[in-house]
Amino acid sequence: ASGELVLDGHAGLRIDGARLIDTLERLGEIGADPAGGVTRLGLSAEETAARVFLGDLCAAAGLEAETDAAGNLFARRPGTSRGEPVLLVGSHVDTVVQGGRLDGAYGVLAALETLRVLHEHRVDLPVEMVVVAFANEEGALVQTPFWGSRMLCGSLEDPLAATDRTGRPVGAYLAAAGCAPERLSQVAWPPGSVAAFLELHIEQGPSLERLGVPIGVVEGIVGRTILDIDVTGEAQHAGTTPMADRRDALTAAAEIVLAVRRVAAEDRVCATATTGFLEAAPNVTNTVPGVVRLSAEVRDTDPARQARGEDVVREQCARVAAASGCRVEVTATMRSRPVSTAPALRGVIREAADRLGLPHLTMPSGAGHDAQIVARIAPVGMIFVPSRRGISHAPGEDTGPGDLVDGANVLLQAVLGAQAG
């Protein structure tokens, strides 16, 4: 097959490790948060600055970079665009609030480094490789996770309805980022234009480090349901309102937070259940809170368990409403299905790791990734590298430089190995 021909000549090709580590450090300075970690929220000025950084890197390397109307950046070798299905490789460059410098960024910069090495060595690929930096994967500001990959796949029904938590529309963010919201309808790629998608990412959990294995081969990605929960009680004077007469939205919300935890931790209905966002109003010491907004998200690799997790959270919200006298409204803002990676690409990744003499482990992903969205339109493969102490979505996120370089070399070899299609 053509893949083997490509490999025959280039099995010894390696990425420039020092260059990868250097670009990771420099990108990590964009959105560096004085309070710790990196705050480079999707569709913010910081994410735009990250795209400018990537564009400059491309220009210096003789690659062409282009950003679509949704904020997705694509990098290609000049003159390679043939209108044929491409091998798309990348991840995202946005972060959560005070996240790490590797979640997403590592996969984008390693993909860019791979393309750079292939370009420098004039390796002719039967299937064109295109690097992508998806916009707003986290949904930390504009509340639409996987924004860029969903736009590319055409799976967001009413994209312009997306807002941040204050109601500011996505169109305002896009315009500020230099994108043209009126061209959003042209962002989706035609069916058949992605031959395959590869994403390299830090594990964000402890398994690889604990087992001392440098490479994870992802077999599937959890499904995730995000619920917005609005609790409405009555704001009252904290000194004069008898305890029995209160409709305290915050104590009701506290019951919900604990119930959400129990759904996974005790009742084992689904794999995880988390409240990560909570905001009380008026949020002063001497008023009984009248309104609380909070989130619940449930995850599982089994869609039936994911659905049951949502059902039980809703039942618990109804129970708390009845007991507290508060109104509790629950709205699902996102449901993503669990997905499997393509067995053929798992094989390609294992062979790439074997070629490099790197042990590998086949494992599920508890974190969401753009790959799970692209899986709707193309076969996907994912590579993990260890996360120190399993920490991610926090300033302590880290991976040893040797592991980062090994993972990028597995990506390079997988790109070559995937050419057989």
Q: Which is nearer to ligand HGY, 181 or 205 (CB)?
A: 205
Q: Residue 28: which of Mn ion, ligand HGY, none does it interact with, CB under 5 to 8 A by kind?
A: none
Q: How far is CA 74 from CA 158, 338, 368, in A?
A: 23, 26, 21
The one-letter amino acid code at 309 reads G
We find the least distance from the C-beta atom of residue 169 to Mn ion, in angstroms, to be 24
Which residue, 103 or 164, is less far from Mn ion as judged by CB? Answer: 103
Q: CA 379 → CA 152, 324, 333, distances in Å?
A: 15, 48, 26
* Those residues with Cβ within 8 angstroms of residue 169's Cβ, 6 or more apart along the chain or in another chain: 160, 161, 162, 163
Candidate residues 46, 94, 103, 406; the one interacting with Mn ion per rule CB under 5 A: 103
Q: Residue 222 Cβ, how far from Mn ion at the closest point, in Å?
A: 13
Name which of 201 and 293 has its Cβ closer to ligand HGY.
Answer: 201
**In the bound complex, what is the minimum distance in angstroms from residue 305's beta carbon to ligand HGY?**
17
- Could you give the string, one character per residue 125-144, with x where binding to ligand HGY holds by CB under 6 A and - elsewhere? ------------xx------
Give the whole-angstrom CA distance, residue 13 versus residue 245.
73
Q: Residue 300 interacts with ligand HGY (CB under 6 A)?
A: no
CA angle 81, 12, 111 (to 5 degrees): 40
Tokens of 302: 């089994």
CA 239, distance to chain mean position in Å, is 46
* Contact with ligand HGY (CB under 6 A) among 28, 37, 100, 145: 145
Q: Could you tell which of Mn ion, ligand HGY, none binds residue 368, using a CB distance below 5 to 8 A set by kind?
A: ligand HGY
Q: Count residues contacting Mn ion (CB under 5 A)?
A: 2
**Number of chain positions touching ligand HGY (CB under 6 A):** 5
Structure tokens at 40: 């480079």
The listed partner (ligand HGY, Mn ion, none) that binds 145, CB under 5 to 8 Å by sort, is ligand HGY
Number of Cβ within 10 Å of residue 386's Cβ equals 27
State in angstroms the smallest separation of the CB of 224 from ligand HGY.
7
Spell out the residues 6+ positions from residue 383 whose beta carbon is closer than 8 angstroms to its own: 198, 199, 200, 201, 215, 216, 217, 218, 349, 407, 410, 411, 414
Min dist. Cβ of residue 388 to Mn ion (A): 16
Q: Which does 27 bind (CB under 5 to 8 A by kind): ligand HGY, Mn ion, none?
A: none
Q: Residue 164, interface with ligand HGY (CB under 6 A)?
A: no
> Which C-beta is closer to ligand HGY: that of 145 or that of 171?
145
| Residue positions counted in the chain | 421
Query: How many C-beta neighbours within 10 Å does residue 318 have?
Result: 12
> What is the C-alpha to C-alpha distance for residues 402 and 272, in angstroms, rounded to an integer?
31
**Which of the listed partners (Mn ion, ligand HGY, none) does 31 bind, with a CB threshold of 5 to 8 Å by partner kind?**
none
Interface pick for ligand HGY out of 367, 404, 414, 415 (rule CB under 6 A):
367
d(CA 409, CA 396): 25
368 forms part of the interface with ligand HGY (CB under 6 A): yes
Q: Is 104 in the site for Mn ion (CB under 5 A)?
A: yes
Residue 352: what residue type? A
Contact 147/69 with Cβ under 8 angstroms? no
**Per CB under 6 A, 102 contacts ligand HGY:** no
Q: Give the end-to-end CA distance of the chain in Å, rounded to a whole number.
A: 9
379 binds, among ligand HGY, Mn ion, none (CB under 5 to 8 A by kind): none
Residue 327 Cβ vs ligand HGY, minimum distance, rounded to whole Å: 29
Residue 37 vs 104, nearer CB to Mn ion: 104
- Shortest spacing between CB 99 and ligand HGY, in angstroms: 9
The binding site for ligand HGY (CB under 6 A) comprises 137-138, 145, 367-368
